[in-house]
Chains A and B, each alone.
Chain A
Amino acid sequence: MLLRTVARCSSRWVTALCLLALVLAGCSPENYPQTTLLPRGDFARIADDLLDTTVKWAILVFVLVEGVLVYAIFRFRGKPGDPEPHQTHGNTTVEIIWTVVPALILAVIAVPTVKAIFETNAVPGKDALTIEVIGHQWWWEFRYPEYNLTTANELHVPIGRMVSLRMGSNDVIHSFWVPQFAAKRDIFANRETRMWFTAEVEGDYPGQCAEFCGIQHGRMAHRIKAQKPAEFQAWVAHMQALGPKPAGAAAPPAPSPRYAEGEKLFTAKGCLACHSMVAVNAPKGMVGPNLANVGGRSYLAAGTLKNTDENLARWIRDPQGIKKGVLMPNLGVTESEAQALVAYLRAHK
């Protein structure tokens, strides 16, 4: 069991630490969907390689120095009646050695560090997929300028193509953290910051805000769906159909009995004031997340609730009770009205 667990810790030097931590029964990174220790993207791999280097040296120094300390504790234990020990004041040779050796070790860490600093700060080429990330209290806005699309909280990316993130904030400082593919970068209201990554393994990946941003900082999660390029293009095409309906076009048949009622309520209750229902040419600076495809997302309220009908109804009726302080007010929606709204929103996948 031990060997299998060790083998699954792909990072060689973190493996050693994993062994140590097995005592605490909590290491194996596979158990942690948000782990930084299983890089599945190029940027994250740069960070992980550096971690590997520093951890290797840290373990070495730890074992050596703590080992000497523990040895000294036992070897030089005083006994009653011991004579006064030799009153050494220092040893110039030893002191020089233990100043120079750490400096050398640090130099060894510094070289790949500086190289990686420049690598990670490089600007991606023109064939990268540019995605704009805008942080809000307490949700994520994602825009694809290439496709004129806007969505929220759930980010779709193609695997094997570099993604170039251009990021900002609508309000306070947040931090966009993509541990599996990249790392984190803070986002500001007055300047653009950037990050890039190429996702290598398809899947569904959680991440969350990593800079304290107010009462609901703890509930500002996102999800990344890394998809095969064909599937990603299909998603883009699907999203582009979620644009505004051309004037005069016939209304599509109502997907469910209460859809029409929900559609009316969405305006009547004021939802439209904060939430856009179109993914194409969506307005900027909306208070609330874009809901064009909310019906198909995995989570609601930035990772707070699983996206079930029951949770969606609960959220509509009592956002303050679920995510206190969120900017969506309690609007006095009745149970029945909530069901209608759920029907309307669920149809928007």
Chain B
Amino acid sequence: MATRVLDQHQAHAASHDEKTGLWSWITTVDHKRIGILYGATAFLFFLIGGIEALLLRIQLGSAENTFLSPDLYNQLFTMHGTTMIFLAIMPLSAMFFNFMIPLLIGARDVAFPRLNAFSYWVFLLGGLFLNASFLFGAAPDQGWFGYANLTSKQYSPGLNVDFWMLGLQILGIASLAAAVNFFVTIVNMRAPGMTLMRMPMFVWMSFITQVLLLLAFPVITVALILLMYDRFFGSAFFVPSGGGDPLLWQHLFWIFGHPEVYILILPAFGIVSEVLPVFSRKPLFGYAAMVFSGVFIAFLGFGVWSHHMFSTGMGPLADTFFALSTMLIAIPTGVKIFNWIGTMWGGSLQYRTPMLFAIGFIAMFIIGGLSGVMHSSPPADLQQTDTYFVVAHFHYVLFGGSIFGLTAGAYYWWPKMFGRMLNEGLGKVHFWLMLIGFNLTFFPMHFVGLNGMPRRVYTYPEGLGFELLNQVETAGSFVLGVAFLVFLVNIFQTWRKPRNAPADPWNGATLEWAIPSPPPEFNFAEIPTVHGRDALWELKRERGGTLPEPARVSGAGIHLPNPSYWPLVTAVGILAFFVTLMTLAATGIWPVIASFALLLLGVYKWAYEPAG
């Protein structure tokens, strides 16, 4: 901790010690920069996914609409789901994993800085690959879970499924590499005194998420390889005419897919668990229960996958098992919700923007959780599944849950990441527009679904009664669009402000608020020693309530990893490998081998370059 107090001007001047320029960003291995890269890229993809959604909503705004052709509609709904899950929510979470985990645990970087950069570049290239499909008029159009045997070559002869299959494979590599990195970082690099049960809750939830990633992604990797063999080499894993079974795809996909939804929500759980205590001015209620419920959810999350398959006729024993396991998982989830409310209870609640989004998260997630419980009963689910009722459910948990939580994190950690506070007034407008727009869009879906509207339909006829609610939903989606415009305005205006946010604008409980905003490249001048949870509150109590603004000291003598371009080269090798795999029939095996050679070169040079 700083022992002398610099005045603001000196602190500001000393902060410009980081390299600037495009090359410094391309070769960066600094977790904070990689975090910003993830965040900016993910946010752009999120806006693309949002525009896709608005187009869908325009089409559904009236019966028998011809705004979108059926094939374009099917591409847009597939890409909306795929984009939001793999290119928006996961990398937005990765932004916070990257920027915040080392700071929260008192470390200077992650365990493998170049692997970290590699993950980002693979993600970027994978996202570009997936979206490049639009340029060929062949965007994926088989739904984000790509059920066989619609995805077989016979029924999907075009490039659409190939883009999806290979794009997801690329993204899986990015996720697995990052998961290894953060797992090792959290296990090995915590500050002295920070036992597992003293870690900030965001670190705990992120830790559990990395375990889920490591165990779930290999399953989808295998499933996608089997699909590739079916499509490219004539095997019949999923093709009935060759003796294969489409249901096998569903099992493999959902064994991945269900843990995936916990991967999507746990980081938001963690963020909300950071924000609520700070803005309630009291610690998280039931820390141990929060840890164990998170672990239990993750573990049990591998035992519920066939609740996505209740309509496939698995038989009463399978239906019963998965119904019961799904109901069981509601218990630790409920425990978390009660603990969050318990955190607020008896507190002194500060309604700043991060808190508004955190409370909004709780309110919306309760609804999503309840509709989830309604799905858990197979006979009832036989009416609900594949209707807009499910669409309502998962948007309440993914948007009302993950997006609200991630937005809370954005407002909360913005000053730390960028040295500027987002505008409170605009933040509140953003919140209210988002809350109202979100509910207008998705609440009616519960009703139109139970009243007979199936999902993934590019239009609906007159006479089924769907028009009114769909119009309301479409209107709501545009309110949401305005909410995000307000956010963009806020971001832009904030960008132009001077970089003079204080180190600790919120009276935070965790270590990141002890260092300047934004942090110097080395994060901590001295690695702190931790004596309990809410380490910074402890420290502030010892020092009479506040800490002085930390000085910007030079990082002389602190060893940091060198920048490197080999992670990018390796990532390019991976992209080339998959592109040439896709064109295998036309271009043959040699480009594939050449790409693999590039990949190996990247890895070799990376492994042998001096650490600096």
Contacts and interface: CB of A to CB of B under 8 A. Distances in A.
Interface of A: 14, 21, 24-27, 29, 31-37, 44, 46-48, 50-51, 54-55, 57-58, 61-62, 65-66, 68-69, 72-73, 76-79, 82-91, 94-95, 98-99, 102-103, 106, 109-110, 113-114, 116-121, 137, 171-173, 175, 177, 179, 183-186, 188-191, 193-194, 206, 208-219, 221, 303, 324-325
A336 B345 CA distance: 78
A173 B150 contact: yes
A147 to B, nearest CB: 26
Nearest to A36: B383
Contacts of B491: none
Contacts of B456: 212, 217-218
Interface in B383-436: 383-387
A194 B311 CA distance: 10
Interface centre among A14, A27, A32 (most CB of B within 10 A): A32
Interface stretch (B47-55, B348-356, B559-567): B348-356
Given A76-B349, A117-B320, A26 B464 contact: no
A24 B334 contact: no
B334 to A, nearest CB: 5
A18 B304 CA distance: 31
Contacts of B382: 47, 120, 183-185
A206 B312 contact: no
Given A24-B472, A58-B373, A73 B359 contact: yes
Interface stretch (B199-207, B283-291, B510-518, B586-594): B283-291
Given A82-B281, A185-B313, 13 more contacts: A36-B450, A51-B450, A65-B337, A68-B341, A73-B359, A95-B339, A99-B331, A113-B377, A120-B382, A172-B150, A179-B452, A213-B150, A214-B155
Contact of A95 (B335, B443, B461, B464): B335
A46 B342 CA distance: 38
A89 B469 contact: no
Interface of B: 69-71, 73-74, 141-143, 147-150, 155, 240-241, 244-247, 280-283, 285-289, 311-313, 315-316, 319-320, 323-324, 327-328, 330-331, 334-335, 337-339, 341-342, 344-351, 359, 362-363, 366-367, 370-371, 373-374, 376-380, 382-387, 443-444, 447-448, 450-461, 463-466, 468-469, 472
B379 A183 contact: yes
Contacts of B452: 32-36, 179, 206
Contact of B246 (A85, A188, A217): A188
A56 to B, nearest CB: 11
Contact of A117 (B74, B323, B460): B323
Given A98-B334, A106-B327, A47 B383 contact: yes
B346 A86 contact: yes
A210 B386 contact: yes
Nearest to B244: A190
Given A62-B370, A72-B341, A35 B444 contact: no
Contacts of A51: 374, 380, 383-384, 450
Contacts of B376: 109, 113
B150 to A, nearest CB: 4
B349 A106 contact: no
Contacts of B334: 98-99, 102
A106 B328 contact: yes
A36 B345 CA distance: 40
B313 A193 contact: yes
The 8 closest A-B pairs by CB, nearest first: A34-B452, A183-B382, A218-B457, A78-B348, A190-B240, A32-B451, A193-B313, A50-B380
Given A29-B451, A36-B451, A88 B285 contact: yes
Interface centre among B281, B371, B380 (most CB of A within 10 A): B380
A61 B370 contact: yes
A102 B330 contact: yes
B313 A194 contact: yes
A173 B316 contact: no
A90 B286 contact: yes
Contacts of A175: 311, 386
A90 B287 contact: yes
Nearest to B142: A212
Nearest to B372: A58
Contacts of A68: 341
A69 B341 contact: yes
B448 A193 contact: no
